[in-house]
Amino acid sequence: MFRFSIAALQLIELFTSSLVHLLFGLYIFSSAVAGDLSLALNDLFFKSNVEPSIRDEQFIGSPAADNDLPPIVLVHGIFGFGKGRLGGLSYFAGAEKKDEKVLVPDLGSLTSIYDRARELFYYLKGGQVDYGEEHSKAYGHSQFGRTYEQGHYPIWDEDHPIHFVGHSAGAQVIRALQQMLADKAFRGHENTSESWVLSVTSLSGAFNGTTRAYLDGMQQDDGKSMKSVCLLQLLRIGVILYDWFDIPFLKYYYSFGFDHFNMSWKKSGIWGLIDCLVGNSGPFTSGDWILPDLTIQGAMRLNSRLNTFPSTYYFSYATKRTKKFMGFTVPSNIQGVHPLLFIRVLQMSQWKHPPDVPPPFKGYRDEDWWDNDGALNTISMTHPRIPVEHPSRFVVEDSECQPLQTGIWYYKIVEGDHILFIVNRERAGVQFDVIYDSIFERCRKHAFRKVPTMPDHANSGN
């Protein structure tokens, strides 16, 4: 009986990972991640000891734990996952172990920037996720979502601010959250302010959209809708079926985050499935999902409402895997690009906006967007640029930006593809430790409003 149970569990885990990989493979943004996942999951699933589930995550924000060491919150990107998903695999490849106060929330992997920002607030502060009455009615989903009986940092306020680190779309989620805090947009929390965010660090952040979204099927004219035949349509069908079948052990291992759309067969029935598939309802019809936010037009719509605040430190790492060769932009190093991202680096380096479609913004030039990392254009990752360019400063060495100033986006260009610093630590090599060590050191020693009193940091005011 015991042997049968172990064998059954292994078969379930293999089936789960295979199905998740299949859905990942439907959308090439994550195909390279799936390649690394297959290696990591193979090792993880056949270990006798499995890491704690999301229910076992410890809270670090109790009053008894209060000190001058703010938590560092790592926010995943598209198709990402937080602590406890995929059997305990780390999206950030174990970087969270570099500091004693790090949180890795599990947010919707395909939900919109807005919805994920709302989820992040309640994950930290506690309570039931409230997407807002007006927004929920406009996009056709439930107003309320998951309940956090206890927040992961319930003392969060202006006197107990947080460091945020976001990968890819996660960087925009952080910016959206900070704007909501400034706008006092959370019912029952009227004392919020932008000062609740101490620093924002972006890893390959999707600040200004990506031409990759058009290659995969988003319409170039509006940046909102999908082409009738494209890769994203396959993704749409796969996700709808995944959520409709609502198989508990699959959803436990991985979730796309659309539970508030009530697409499960238990709530929508067979006609609900048909409505979603034919495009009468659901997130892909309403536009309340991540891809519209990742078009250039979608990023402009977001950026028009998001500010860079004078009380917060900002730092950005923009990745690039292209170079100039005989007047052309080409992949810079075949061996340095994940095999499943190489073709995308090449495609994006040759992208040209259709001549019969108005450019996404005044002054747009194709050549400015050719440098890329296989998922995002390098120009998009440095700092918010459109429709208004935010204050920024290019740096080569971290020492160039010390002492840090608030309200300025310091940015570096890093040679690497879009997934260099996630999932597979071995592939990043020594760069992994270099970049994460510098991020954590900056948070602990150089980004603060009052001098820390912890022994190791008390004399590090510069």
Can you tell me which residue has the tokens 């929920």? 136
Please check whether residue 22 is in contact with residue 37, taking contact to mean a CB–CB distance below 8 angstroms. no
- Tens digit of pLDDT per residue, the chain (462 long)? 444 455 544 544 554 444 544 454 444 344 445 455 545 555 554 443 333 333 334 556 554 444 678 999 999 999 999 998 888 889 999 999 999 999 999 999 999 999 999 999 999 999 999 999 999 999 999 999 999 999 999 999 999 999 999 999 999 999 999 999 999 999 999 999 999 999 999 999 999 999 999 999 999 999 999 999 998 999 999 999 999 999 998 999 999 999 999 999 999 999 999 999 999 999 999 999 999 999 999 999 999 999 999 999 999 999 999 999 888 898 887 766 777 788 899 999 999 999 999 999 999 999 999 999 999 999 999 999 999 999 999 999 887 877 889 999 999 999 999 988 898 888 788 889 999 999 999 999 877 776 554 444 434 443
Q: What is the pLDDT of residue 43?
A: 52
Question: Residues 275, 276, 280, 282: is their CA dihedral positive or negative?
Answer: positive
336 DSSP 8-state letter: G
Q: Rounded to 5 degrees, what are φ and ψ at 108?
A: -60, 130
Q: What is the pLDDT of residue 393?
A: 96
* Cα–Cα dist 365/9, whole Å: 53
Cβ neighbours of residue 51 under 8 Å, at least 6 residues apart? 84, 87, 88
Please check whether residue 438 is in contact with residue 396, taking contact to mean a CB–CB distance below 8 angstroms. no
* Cα–Cα dist 94/84, whole Å: 12
Which stretches of 321-379 are assigned E, i.e. beta strand? 322-325, 328-331
Please check whether residue 428 is in contact with residue 416, taking contact to mean a CB–CB distance below 8 angstroms. yes
How many helices and strands (H and E) does the chain possess? Answer: 16, 11
Write out pLDDT tens, residues 16-26. Answer: 444 544 454 44
Please check whether residue 366 is in contact with residue 357, taking contact to mean a CB–CB distance below 8 angstroms. no
Whether residue 63 is preceded by a cis peptide bond, meaning omega within 30 degrees of 0, is no
Q: Is 251 exposed, middle or buried (0-12, 13-18, 19+ CB in 10 A)?
A: middle
* Cα–Cα dist 105/123, whole Å: 7
Q: What is the pLDDT of residue 52?
A: 37
Beta bridge partners of 127: 148
The amino acid at residue 310 is P
* Residue of 232, 202, 349, 374 whose CA lies nearest to 223: 232
Q: What is the pLDDT of residue 398?
A: 80
Burial 320-351 (b: 16+ CB within 10 A, else e): bbbeeeeeebbbbeeeebbebbbebbbbbbeb
Q: Rounded to 5 degrees, what are φ and ψ at 333?
A: -160, 110
Q: What is the pTM of this model?
A: 0.87
What is the longest distance spanned by two Cα atoms in the chain? 68
* Cα–Cα dist 306/155, whole Å: 25
Write out pLDDT tens, residues 180-222. Answer: 999 999 999 999 999 999 999 999 999 999 999 999 999 999 9
How many C-beta atoms lie closer than 10 Å to residue 165's C-beta? 27
* CB half-sphere exposure, 49, CA atoms < 13 A: 2
- How does strand 409-415 pair with strand 392-394? parallel
Please check whether residue 37 is in contact with residue 128, taking contact to mean a CB–CB distance below 8 angstroms. no
Determine if residue 95 is left, alpha or beta; phi over 0 gives left, psi from -120 to 50 gives alpha, anything else beta. Answer: alpha
Cβ neighbours of residue 178 under 8 Å, at least 6 residues apart? 194, 196, 197, 200, 306, 309, 312
* Residue of 231, 257, 227 whose CA lies nearest to 242: 257
Can you tell me which residue has the tokens 């306020």? 157
Helix, strand, or coil (residue 186): coil
Helix, strand, or coil (residue 292): helix
Q: How many residues does the chain have?
A: 462
